[in-house]
Amino acid sequence: MTVSILLFLPVVAALLVLLFKNDTVKHAALFFAVVELAVALYFLAGFVPDASVQYGVDAPWIPQMGVHFTAGIDGISMIMVLLSTVLVPLIILTTYKHQHKNAKAFYALILFMQAGMLTVFTALDGFLFYVGWEAALIPIYFICALWGGGNRIRITIKFFIYTFAGSLFMLLGIIYLALQTPGGIYDLRSFNDLNLTLTQQSWVFWAFFVAFAIKMPVFPFHTWQPDTYTEAPSAGTMMLSGIMLKMGIYGVIRWLIPNAPAGFLQWQNLVIILAIIGIVYASLIAFNQKDGKRLVAYSSIAHVGLIAAGIFAWTTQGVQGAMIQMLSHGINVVGMFFIWDIISRRLNTRDIGQMGGIAKVAPHFSIAFLIIVLGTVALPLTNGFVGEFLLLKGVYNYNIWFAAVAGLTIIFGAVYMLRMYKNVMQGETNELTAIFADISGSEKLVLGIICVLIIGIGVYPQPILHISEAAVTNLVNTVSAKFAAGKF
């Protein structure tokens, strides 16, 4: 069995979902998403956690252009496959209390988007990587434009222009690298083996970095994110924040740094500074947010800034921290946006100032909310702590002062997240919150799974770290050897 089944199953599922009607649509979508998760777990069960690429497929696709359908899974890809296949069923479950117009199109787009993201996470051919990148963008554009909030058209167009423009820069970089290979091919290993000049690599670095920085997003490429996260339907926001932004982080690790190591060294310091500015900037803005969903959006920018700083420090600890933090952040941010989906659905507002005392009338909801908050602020023995500790250690090894400022994300995050929890859940109830209903059914199932993952990964992260350890170590050592030898 090859990775191709992971890539094509969601496409087939998306087409099949279009045949269902009424409430059976969401059940069918959930069924196919769970089947996709089962396939991923089957791959995980047989996965050997070394540096090799497994479950590979390599078939001629457009041979006249040197394009092959080449994909596979190593330890880095496996983490991203698990992230995607675990979160999509949970995201579909979060929609069970909603009634979407043209539901079959809505769920088909989610499944098609999953196929695009999995293509990005497993592609070993530059052209295939770009196709997956764009294939994931198209569904989320329609999800936001058709099912988003009142300002959805203006915001979605801004989001599309930002991301599509960045994608064009990346496409130019991919084509340029392919033209430098002996056979004019798009194979990732051939890209890695190129000996480009510093000037060439500097241009390649920026061609890729702009696309990835917009997707993550990193300051100052972040301006599309808060508005899009706020206006998108809850499921769309979860797909964007939980999985899609990780495409940019993954791209930096897999495609940017190994293909332009000299360019990376030239601009490394600048990018870390931008990432740290983003941490402080987003955290300070989060302090003043009255809209709970918007607060979480700015919180996400701060956390991604730390991930970016840890990666660009380029140590094994930093990249390993990024791997587990991508998984943890995805779980936590989906949980947090679902929390605000539940609140806004019950109260018809996300204004934190209008709330209070919900813990008294919804004890199960309050416990789940608190666990997700604690994971988000990186309390020890929660999933957020492991990744942020390794990321800060990586930044510390690069520059102690950078680590000191980057560490503010933990302090700031604890302040605005716990203050948010206090204002929403504690104190006395009012006319609005006194009738708040506790979670039940699919809500309790989703939040229960998320809380178990937060605590489970936090208490025993070793199995997750073990999956990517060999691949990360090999990648870091290979690129670092180029630094030391000056072979660019």
What are 419-444's pLDDT values in tens digits? 999 999 998 888 888 888 889 889 99
pLDDT at 488: 52
What's the half-sphere exposure (Cβ side, CA atoms, 13 Å) at 315? 16
pLDDT at 474: 93
Rounded Cα gap, residues 17 and 14, in angstroms: 5
Calculate ∠ Cα 442-447-448, nearest 5°: 95
pLDDT at 249: 93
Other Cβ atoms within 10 Å of 329 Cβ, number: 29
With contact defined as beta carbons under 8 Å apart, do 313 and 272 qualify? yes
- pTM: predicted TM-score of the whole model, two decimal places: 0.92
Residues 6+ apart with CB under 8 A from 323: 76, 79, 387, 464, 465, 468, 472
pLDDT in tens for each of the 488 residues of the chain? 789 999 999 999 999 999 888 789 999 999 999 999 999 999 999 999 988 999 999 998 988 888 999 999 999 999 999 999 999 999 999 998 888 888 899 999 999 999 999 999 999 999 999 999 999 988 988 888 888 777 777 888 888 888 888 889 999 999 999 999 888 889 999 998 888 888 999 999 999 999 999 988 888 878 788 888 888 889 999 998 999 999 999 999 999 999 999 999 999 999 999 999 999 989 989 888 888 899 999 998 888 999 999 999 989 999 999 999 999 999 999 999 999 999 999 998 898 888 888 999 999 999 999 999 999 998 999 998 999 999 999 999 988 999 998 888 888 888 999 999 999 999 888 888 888 888 988 999 999 999 999 999 999 999 999 999 999 999 999 898 887 766 55
In 3D space, the residue among 162, 185, 313, 312 whose CA is nearest the CA of residue 245 turns out to be 162
With contact defined as beta carbons under 8 Å apart, do 231 and 151 qualify? yes
pLDDT at 98: 84
Calculate ∠ Cα 40-217-421, nearest 5°: 85
β-bridge mates for residue 125, sequence order: 187
In 3D space, the residue among 354, 349, 364, 365 whose CA is nearest the CA of residue 294 turns out to be 349
Rg (CA), the chain: 21
pLDDT at 192: 87
